């Protein structure tokens, strides 16, 4: 696909204006736009601009309430609960983190449960923010069902990613893990379908449970769990935390993220913030350094998150992002009726 170079702030402005033109408030549009631009900068295009037209459509038809005002409550000494009120996950996460970070510093460990939300984009975008604040950030988010249990053909859990971000003690990241319960994120299959490309073997099954490389058939079938039954176990763990423990909608009952059918998905997220300096008697930085050295001592080995970090560094050095020109033009068209952001 032809690409075009654009400044990150200009890209954020276009996305914001498209969302506002579709009916989102500026307060809600901003964190969604920031997340999408961050995904593009990290080289995760399937979680970036590709979702924006769907976000805009879902705001217009009421599948997500673009004007929702999330609420936050401290229900226990170290437990916060945010209700996204059928709106975007990003604003609920933002207000939750404003309280979560100081609470974790005070108590050592704090949790944030979010219910009635929508797709949160690239999960590591959020956990990395906790690491930048000097805390271990662990996040879970459930999604509409797309993975069948071993021996079954009907999906029961979503691709259900989890993410872990580790601080480097200098306001940055030592490492960042972001992975789904499936071999690949479903958004990658969607990307291939939009582009009319086959998917690699081993990504998905067709509606009859047979391996397929046809992206369109894969979207009608199920995703292949990573590691077989172990991947299903990971997805179930995420479902228990992000949906059951938050009171959000289970993946089997949630409407799809990428289609106009159904009402608001009302899925959930669950975050843990941990002050590992306190729990490790100050030895956490040394242990992380030792572990990292063991990885990097082997030629060709990289730490989790290193590829995303390298992409962000390149984007920062050039001050430009290469994005799909046709997709950007489509989003710019959606933004035409909005006032400048």
74: confidence class by pLDDT, cuts 50, 70, 90: very high
Cβ–Cβ under 8 Å, residues 124 and 178: yes
Residues ≥6 apart with Cβ < 8 Å to 25: 66, 67
Name, in order, each residue with C-beta under 8 angstroms of 337's C-beta and a sequence gap of 6 or more: 21
Q: 87 vs 67, 206, 261, 280, CA distance in Å?
A: 7, 32, 16, 38
**274 lies in some domain:** yes
Q: State the alpha helices, DSSP H only, in the chain.
A: 8-22, 26-41, 52-61, 89-107, 123-132, 186-195, 215-220, 229-239, 276-279, 284-296, 306-318, 325-335
Q: What percent of the chain is modeled with pLDDT above 90?
A: 84
- Reported as a single tens digit per residue, the pLDDT across 81-124 is 999 999 999 999 999 999 999 999 999 999 999 999 999 999 99
Q: 276-319 pLDDT, tens per residue?
A: 999 999 999 999 999 999 999 999 999 999 999 999 999 999 99
Beta 79-83 vs 136-141: how paired, if at all?
Answer: unpaired
CA angle 119, 309, 184 (to 5 degrees): 45
What pLDDT band is residue 208 in, cutting at 50, 70 and 90?
Answer: confident
Say what angle helices 8-22 and 325-335 make with each other, to 10 degrees: 50
230 or 186, which is more confident: 230
Residue 25 falls inside a structural domain:
yes
Tell me whether residue 239 is in a domain.
Answer: yes
Cα(331)–Cα(341) distance, integer angstroms: 14
- Residue 151: HSE in the Cβ half-sphere, 13 Å Cα cutoff: 0
Identify whether 230 is part of a domain: yes
Domain contains 307: yes
* CATH code where residue 263 lies: 3.30.1370.60
Q: Specify whether the CB–CB gap between 62 and 85 falls below 8 A.
A: no
| Tally of CA atoms within 13 A in the half-sphere of 269 that contains its CB | 33
Whether residue 269 is contained in a domain is answered as yes
Q: How far apart are CA 145 and CA 137, in angstroms?
A: 25
What's the token pair of residue 153?
């053909």
CA distance readout (Å), 49 to 129, 204, 227: 21, 23, 30
Averaged pLDDT for residues 176-200: 89
Higher pLDDT, residue 171 or 247: 247
Predicted confidence at residue 332, as pLDDT, reads 96
pLDDT at 339: 52
Identify the domain containing residue 242 by its residue range: 3-182+225-294+301-335
C-alpha to C-alpha distance for 121 and 89, rounded to whole angstroms: 9
pLDDT of residue 338: 55
Q: For 297, phi and psi rounded to 5 degrees?
A: -70, -15
Whether 340 has a pLDDT exceeding 70, the answer reads no
Asked if residue 195 is part of any domain, the answer here is no
Specify the number of domains making up the chain: 1
Q: Is residue 190 part of a domain?
A: no
CB 113 within 8 A of CB 243: no
Which residues does the annotation mark as catalytic? 46-47, 188
Q: Return the axis-axis angle of helices 123-132 and 89-107, rounded to nearest 10°.
A: 30
State both tokens at 306.
């290193």
Higher pLDDT, 248 or 148: 248
């Amino acid at each position: 696909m032809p690409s075009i170079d654009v400044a990150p702030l200009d890209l954020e402005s276009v996305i914001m204006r498209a969302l506002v033109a579709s009916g989102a408030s500026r307060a809600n549009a901003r964190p969604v736009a920031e997340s999408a631009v961050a995904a593009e900068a990290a080289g995760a295009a399937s979680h970036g601009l590709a979702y924006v037209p769907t976000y805009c459509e879902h705001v217009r038809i009421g599948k997500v309430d673009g004007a929702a005002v999330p609420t936050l409550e401290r229900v226990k000494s170290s437990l916060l609960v945010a209700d996204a009120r059928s709106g975007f996950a990003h604003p609920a996460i933002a207000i939750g983190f404003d309280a979560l970070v100081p609470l974790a510093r005070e108590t050592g460990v704090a949790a944030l449960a979010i219910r009635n939300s929508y797709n949160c984009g690239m999960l590591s975008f959020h956990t990395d923010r906790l690491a930048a604040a000097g805390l271990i950030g662990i996040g879970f988010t459930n999604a509409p069902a797309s993975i069948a249990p071993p021996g079954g053909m009907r999906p029961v859990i979503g691709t259900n990613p989890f993410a872990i971000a580790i601080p480097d003690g200098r306001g940055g990241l030592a490492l960042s893990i972001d992975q789904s319960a499936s071999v690949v994120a479903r958004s990658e299959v969607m990307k291939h379908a939009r582009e009319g490309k086959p998917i690699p073997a081993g990504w998905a099954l067709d509606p009859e449970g047979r391996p397929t490389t046809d992206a369109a058939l894969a979207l009608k079938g199920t995703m292949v769990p990573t590691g077989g039954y172990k991947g299903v176990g990971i997805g179930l763990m995420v479902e228990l935390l992000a949906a059951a423990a938050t009171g959000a909608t289970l993946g089997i009952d949630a409407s799809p993220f990428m289609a106009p059918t159904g009402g608001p998905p009302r899925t959930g997220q669950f975050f843990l913030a941990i002050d590992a300096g306190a729990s490790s008697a100050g030895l956490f930085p040394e242990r992380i350094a030792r572990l990292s050295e063991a990885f990097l001592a082997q030629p060709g080995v990289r730490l989790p998150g290193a590829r995303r970090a390298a992409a962000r560094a390149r984007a920062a050095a050039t001050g430009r992002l290469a994005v799909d020109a046709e997709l950007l033009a489509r989003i710019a068209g959606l933004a035409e009726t909005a006032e400048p952001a």
